[in-house]
Structure 1
């Protein structure tokens, strides 16, 4: 894993509501229109590029840190697997490759960089100190020979602010431009930093993400708002230290990579494609549609970015697979007349996971006749309730795609199965059927059913549960509320600390009731049982947590570290890979997966599944069966969880029975003492069998009914406020949910 990813991991946060529900991050802001529905059913032949890899430029293990151009040469600064950095140049066709070693240590890394008109590179270089593992921060100028022309020490500034300089750009007029919290500043070795465009001219500037010089020497600046974190895009007149124009043609929640061609034309890349920026008209003109071209946007979102030769030829660095293999590629526009016709099959979802998108892109590349087009509602709506409402409305009104993703909304399946919207897949998965040879884990196969018929397929899953050290479990496989209280009291903790320091009573109440499976709310029988002693005990348990956010955010690694060190009693585990379980055991010792506390004597855990259904009116059933097979049996390791296919799941678990390869980044953990990534110890066969048995014993799907969850939270608030007893609240919830079931049956 690159140092860039180490930094990313160190500052990543665990949001308090993501343990048991599918994460939703809205990035839209525009309304889904009839034109969008029309576009999803066709391929835009004007936005197709082919991708060709340069095979002889990077050596095995090399990674590109800075990518640019100088005249007719492509320039790069890369890091070798052994540690030293290289300065590289090559022709746009991949020929005439030249390189010069720069030097550098194995643990050193580059934060950002750019090139000037003479081909010199400027980088923020992080140099690891062998004595204590800390880092010095330097602005270095590197000549094409690999010689370091100067090395300016910014260690003090970066120690005070890790993002002291976020980005670089080169201007023929102003020289080296630096994005800092003071605004856009120029830098030279003699005068240091000097403000060119003051931050005061950029209202609410929380950090500059990129700077690009336009053809008229104006500066295009992308920064984020310090309160909303929304993107801001402006054109600045640097000569007069002012902002000339505020642009609105970009998605405010989108993340863009910007780059220019030699003529000063500006381009933008996001998750969906590459665009030419028409600054005058304040709009983006799409050049490349990643999905129509069957190009994985995850692979395009590599570290160094893009270089445009012109609007038809673009150089990029990519990062592929679990091993994050870096490569350089050329994207070349295909003549629309040369793009073959394909039958389009549509797939829609409230949020379509990136791993699924990658698999679909693989399917599209392998098929000459068919293409799967994706309609992701999160691209159009920021508000989850609005998104969910529109998603369901479109299905009801006959706009359903051929394949529908219900991940995180499994409760909706029953409604559409009853209405005949979904195709019965039972015959396909029976012996002799087109998918009958796929042996699915028994508990997953049951989750795929409704009224004893299979209406969904679930390629992957992960496990949500609670772990505690074996000494705390005392041989028990689940803990009662009394057991938990005695443990917490005995160790002198409060509930917040004991459960990992980041739950509030509202979050416990809103999401964790579903860990009970059909105990309180049975989708299949359309019954509810909230007016029970068990639910009132659940409310009393939730009331022992704080009533407001205990912290602003929680560092993911800190939660596990605190658990391992005995600072908490329970660890909210979300296992999507066997190495995560191995990491828990290595850090914390023997652990027991006890599930959510309860008085029923049951181990209450849940599976988060990727869940799909097929539109009963589709005209492409046979092709969809091929896609289902591809999604469920692909040899590639999913980034989205364990395989639901029995043989693949067993293979995934047994991968951890032997020492991992050096290149397996999933099997490493970060050691803060040495500052290095170390291999996770293999598991024993006994450990693997125990985990397997636990996984297949879980019968609860974490797809939560948000309407019921809202009712539970709304009514429970009166109990938390002392206005009603738990029993009174339980009775009100029972009545309201009963009415909800009746209205939707």
Structure 2
């Protein structure tokens, strides 16, 4: 077999010599889960992205895919030896109203599947016709249909469909349908029996184990999670015994295992699992193996050290069928291991980790994503453990921050490294090349602990004719403006009290709390004014609020003045242009949320990276982190504001042109961006230089970082409830909140 070791995966350094230096536990762990990835040659398939599934039968590999044609589509099946020899292509032509699903093959090379034939006629609005017929079909080795068996039977289900189909070890075919019915057919398509499964709760997908037995993924309302139960297809019964996997059951895809009952695939690799075990066993780690993908599809295990699967390369988007083979740990090159912790991993960071690990001769990064500790019962368990680990001194070399982490507390404890000295010593990087206000926003006492390579402006937008041209206003300004508006005018569209409270703290909370000094001002007149403002919003809207008329007029609410303000996540020139020329249809101002200090907008990081001040490998950490400040990365940013002013210049030139795409002939085709109002398409014209200068002038003035503290929100929500219920006045609850928050701040600074 001519095996293709793709270039993206060639960074795994397999050596027969041991590198110098001792091996830490992290270094050992990073070697235990390394697999070599080789692309399987599929020379008869031109477009690998058309592959939908594959399976092994004996020594033959069967790959299934779909091609769209001018008048319909075709299903293809490529059968070949594992070494790529003796390929046989079978094509099955389908009309536009046909689809062939759940294809599988028996040991003799005959194919079975479910044919869906549908007819739709919407020409008469009062007599809409949708006819959907399903058939079990058998095809010979050349794809010729041998027989078909209607599947609906006497089902009265208007929306009948097939949930799954399995070819059992004894040759029978089992089909589960939308009527919660399992029907068994013999190899000639004759129905043997049908069993009703309606009494079984939460029937989901079926997993066929290596021994042929079926497991059902079922939802348990008692445990509020998904579990696995054995299925007796003849009796139509699920086992009383139920198996619950550790962590989030929804994070895995399930495949039959060899050496284990099941193989589990998640975003980080492949694990083995035996029913009843408390933990899964990690087998292959994508990052440790330098594989730039986040999932394996249609996994087929040959053993726990060898399996096949299709992947999508994160950088190229290409689909490839791969063979994965375990690498002996002693053959993996020794490197110093940098630890990176996160609570969910940014895709750009992930891609760069793979590239860094492949090219850096001295260091490699190992990830601990704490979302792995989340469970169906507690989705916050991961971030809680991350906080606990950091508080106990287990600080990773690199930490990806998010809004669930007490950043101010970490900084005050000296856990992070100042990045300015590294930037200043780097010949390629200069502070002046970046948004100065963003650097300032993330400074603490003149030191830069957080790297924010790109960001979004979180703000409140209004018509310039209403709010004026200058950003920033107070609650008194907003109340005065609302007093001039017709009765029924809304401040925000469909916002409830809790949401507006969140906005007020996220955008203007700095007027009430200063984490650097520990000062709190929740008993101030400004906070009392905020409480009085919040009282006008309902705790919830019932369904009667969202009428057909509401949705019909939604796109014009801001244009015609029914709604005054729009909470906006402005992530670039396009979103500003769309808001101005689409949503409002006239000049707008990024006014911000009302605040006593006039600062009601915030910089929301799209990525926020820090270096541990305790790291023993700071040089290696900086080698990784600096990439996100270089032109190589900044020039890839299309969505979100890049930190680089040079990249901003390029994006501003792009904003002055119509949007375009390249057609199949390589020709650039321009088109208008549009906004629909009352069924009419309104063109969104490209920006002018004056408009670009206007929005950049505002963006450069925003110097407050986004902050979200759920504990703080909880305190305010709990203590304001009596005020909104009319049981206490605003001054009383403000004093209580001041006391509680002051204690909270003192304990967490």
TM-score norm. by structure 1 comes to 0.77
Compared CA separation, residues 153 and 249, structure 1 to 2 (3 A): closer
> 2:214 maps to what in 1?
219
Structure 1: state its 5+ residue gaps.
1-37
Alignment of 1:218-297 (within 5 A): 218-225=213-220, 230-244=225-239, 245-260=241-256, 266-279=262-275, 284-297=280-293
**SS in structure 2 of the partner of residue 73 of structure 1:** strand
Instruction: Describe how 1:431-450 pairs up with structure 2 within 5 A.
Output: 435-436=429-430, 439-450=433-444
Mapped pair 1:619 → 2:616: yes
Match of 1:456 in 2: 450
Tell me the matched-pair count: 686
Residue 81 of structure 2 corresponds to residue 89 of structure 1: no
The separation in 2 between residues aligned to 1:562 and 1:688, in whole angstroms, is 28
**Greater shift after overlay, 585-594 or 607-616?**
585-594
Indicate the residue corresponding to 1:538 in structure 2: 530
Alignment of 1:156-555 (within 5 A): 164-173=161-170, 174-178=172-176, 180=178, 182=180, 184-186=182-184, 195-196=194-195, 198-201=197-200, 203=201, 205=202, 208=204, 210-225=205-220, 230-244=225-239, 245-260=241-256, 266-279=262-275, 284-298=280-294, 300=295, 305-321=298-314, 324-382=317-375, 383=378, 387-409=382-404, 412-430=406-424, 435-436=429-430, 439-467=433-461, 483=478, 493=488, 495=490, 499-501=492-494, 503-516=495-508, 518-548=510-540, 550=542
Task: Name which one, 1 or 2, has greater alpha-carbon Rg.
Answer: 2
Q: Give the corresponding residue for 1:706.
A: 710
How has the CA–CA distance of structure 1 residues 126 and 100 changed in structure 2, closer, same or farther, with 3 Å as cutoff?
A: same
Output the CA distance in 1 between the equivalents of 2:156 and 2:672.
27
User: 2:64 aligned with 1:73, yes or no?
Assistant: no
Distance in 2, matches of 1:473 and 1:109, equals: 57
Query: What corresponds to 2:8 in structure 1?
Result: none
Tell me whether 1:724 sits opposite 2:722 in the alignment. no
Distance 1:489 1:186 in 2: 72
Distance 1:409 1:278, change over 3 A: closer
Once the two structures are superposed, what CA deviation does each residue of 1:143-168 show, in whole Å capped at 9, x if it has no partner?
Answer: 465667759698x9999659x54444
Q: Secondary structure at the match of 1:43?
A: helix
Partners in 1 of 2:498 and 2:321 — Cα distance? 48
Secondary structure of the residue aligned to 1:348 is: strand
Which segment is superposed worse, 393-402 or 215-224? 215-224
Root-mean-square deviation (CA), in Å?
A: 4.7
Structure 2 CA distance for aligned equivalents of residues 368 and 552 of structure 1: 63
User: 2:27–2:335: 8 Å Cα contact kept in structure 1?
Assistant: no
Aligned to 2:660: 660
Task: Name 2:16's counterpart in structure 1.
Answer: none
Match of 1:63 in 2: 50
- Provide, for residues 35-82 of structure 1, a one-character-per-residue CA deviation record: whole Å limited to 9, x for no partner: xxx965643434211223357565358433333344412221234597
Q: Quote how far apart the aligned CAs of 1:401 are.
A: 0.8
Whether the aligned pair in 1 keeps the contact of 2:185 and 2:192 (CA below 8 Å) is yes
Q: Is the 8 A contact 1:431 1:437 kept in 2?
A: no
- The superposition leaves residues 348-397 of structure 1 with CA deviations (integer Å, 9 ceiling, x where unpaired) of 23443344233322322233432211222222144466555543332232
Q: Does the residue aligned with 1:660 lie in a helix, a strand or coil?
A: strand
Instruction: Please point out which of 99, 113, 122 is paired with 1:122.
Output: 113
Whole-angstrom distance in 1 between the partners of 2:367 and 2:120? 48
Q: Do the aligned partners of residues 124 and 653 (structure 1) sit closer, same or farther apart at CA in structure 2, a change above 3 Å counting?
A: farther
C-alpha change, 1:537 and 1:137, in structure 2 (3 Å) is farther
Tell me if the contact between 1:114 and 1:170 (Cα under 8 Å) persists in the aligned partners.
no
- Aligned partners of 1:428 and 1:435 also within 8 Å: no
Q: Per-residue deviation at 1:598?
A: 1.5
Q: For residue 648 of structure 1, what is the aligned residue in structure 2?
A: 647
Once the two structures are superposed, the pairs formed by residues 133-172 of structure 1 within 5 Å of their partners are 139=134, 141=137, 143=139, 145=142, 164-172=161-169
2-side partners of 1:414 and 1:601: how far apart? 21
Match of 1:14 in 2: none
Deviation (angstroms), 1:346: 0.7
Aligned-pair CA distance for 1:423: 1.6
Q: In 1, Cα distance between the equivalents of 2:151 and 2:492?
A: 43
Q: Residues of 1 paired with 2:453 and 2:603: CA distance?
A: 12
In 2, the alpha carbon distance for the partners of 1:724 and 1:236 equals 58
Q: Does the 8 Å contact 2:582/2:674 carry over to 1?
A: no
Structure 1 residue 261, shift from structure 2 partner: 7.0
**C-alpha separation in 2, matches of 1:684 and 1:744:** 47
The answer to whether the 8 Å contact 2:489/2:563 transfers is: no
Q: Is the 8 A contact 1:61 1:80 kept in 2?
A: no
1:239 Cα deviation from its structure 2 partner: 2.1
SS of match in other structure, 2:242 = strand
The offset of 1:456, in angstroms, is 1.6
| Deviation (angstroms), 1:702 | 1.9
Structure scoring higher RCO (CA < 8 A, sep ≥ 6) equals: 1
Name the counterpart of 1:3: none
**How far does the alpha carbon of each residue in 1:547-602 deviate from its partner, in whole angstroms, 9 at most, with x for none?**
13656999xxx999934566865444334465555665675363635354416584
Between 1:177-186 and 1:696-705, the stretch displaced more is: 177-186
Change (3 A) 1:722 1:59: farther
**Structure 2 contact 442–450 (Cα < 8 Å) conserved:** yes
Taking structure 2 as the reference length, what is the TM-score of the superposition? 0.77
Change over 3 Å in CA distance of 1:696–1:296 after alignment to 2? farther
Q: In the aligned structure 2, how far is the partner of 1:647 from the partner of 1:111?
A: 51
Asked if the contact 1:137/1:153 (under 8 Å) is kept, the reply is no
CA distance in 2, matches of 1:192, 1:593: 69
